Amino acid sequence: MGRRLEPAIRKERDLGMVEEMGKDNKDAHHVKTYEVVLKDKDFVEGPWSQNNLDNGADLLIPVPLPLCGVLIIGEETIVYYSASAFKGIPI
């Protein structure tokens, strides 16, 4: 992925989570998550990723417990993602 935006970090149990948004070489926007296993000081891919976001998507807003997800703000949509849910609305 291309440019890296400021990660959204949240602590759950013994894990932290980092979301990363970037562009590929075709200017398509993607977001990927990594779990941070604090005990092992290691990154593990998951629990979710999403390809081909709104082309203007450039802002991640962490959603705290109990929902534990992220809002992705784009030019034309606002989308909520989590490991188990997805909801988008046009703006």
Tokens of 45: 């891919």
* pLDDT tens digits for range 41-83: 888 888 888 888 888 888 889 888 888 888 999 999 999 988 8
Which DSSP symbol is given to 8? E
pLDDT of residue 16: 66
Cβ contact 17:36 at 8 Å = yes
Does the bond joining 64 to the residue before it have cis omega, within 30 degrees of 0?
no
pLDDT at 89: 94
Q: Which residue has the tokens 């989590």?
A: 82
Whether this model's pTM surpasses 0.75? no
- % pLDDT > 70, the chain: 81
CA 47 to chain centre: 10
DSSP 44-87: EEEEEEEEEE-TT--EEEEE-TTT-EEEEE-SSEEEEE-SS-EE
Average per-residue pLDDT for the chain: 78
Handedness of CA 62, 68, 69, 71 (dihedral sign): negative
